């Protein structure tokens, strides 16, 4: 079994992190969005689970595609769990990591109050 490594994906300012997390908190499953938010050992350490599904579908139809972590590896750092580089991950697992990276990029670029974002999930 391959070991999962926690790797840095992006480093952003604390203001950007607050904005991204604010958007995710406003668009949780409860609010018909794709995100679930969990605090870590420290309140500022946050895990964001990204789910796939359509807004019109019932919550039971949403399925987790992956997660990203905010402030775990340092303030303003967005990190991911990825398989070891020498491990042949299933293509579907690699696609999930790519999808999570796309979601993060969209959030950083466009997640402002009032924005209605579409994610490739």
Please give the pLDDT value at position 39. 92
Please give the pLDDT value at position 88. 54
**Coil, helix or strand at residue 100:** helix
Q: Taking the model in full, what pTM does it have?
A: 0.84
**What's the CA angle centered on 31, arms 30 and 33, to 5 degrees?**
100
d(CA 116, CA 106): 11
The mean per-residue pLDDT over the stretch 50-61 comes to: 69
Residues 61-99: pLDDT tens digits?
A: 668 899 999 999 999 999 998 765 555 555 566 788 899
Q: Which residue has the higher pLDDT, 20 or 58?
A: 20
pLDDT at 121 over 90: no
Please give the pLDDT value at position 112. 92
Please give the pLDDT value at position 57. 61
Residue in 113, 40, 110 with CA at minimum distance from that of residue 77: 40
d(CA 65, CA 81): 12
Question: What residue has token string 């807004």?
Answer: 55
């Amino acid at each position: 079994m391959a070991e999962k490594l926690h790797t840095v994906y992006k480093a952003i300012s604390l203001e950007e992190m607050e904005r991204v997390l604010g958007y995710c908190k406003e668009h949780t499953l409860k609010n018909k969005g794709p995100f679930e938010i969990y605090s870590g050992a420290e309140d500022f350490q946050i895990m964001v689970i990204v789910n796939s599904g359509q807004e019109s579908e019932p919550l039971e139809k949403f399925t987790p595609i992956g997660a990203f972590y905010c402030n775990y590896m340092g303030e303003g750092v967005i990190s991911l769990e990825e398989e070891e580089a020498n491990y042949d991950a299933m293509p579907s697992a690699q696609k999930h990591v790519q999808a999570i990276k796309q979601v993060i990029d969209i959030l950083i670029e466009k997640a402002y109050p009032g924005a209605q974002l579409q994610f490739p999930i």
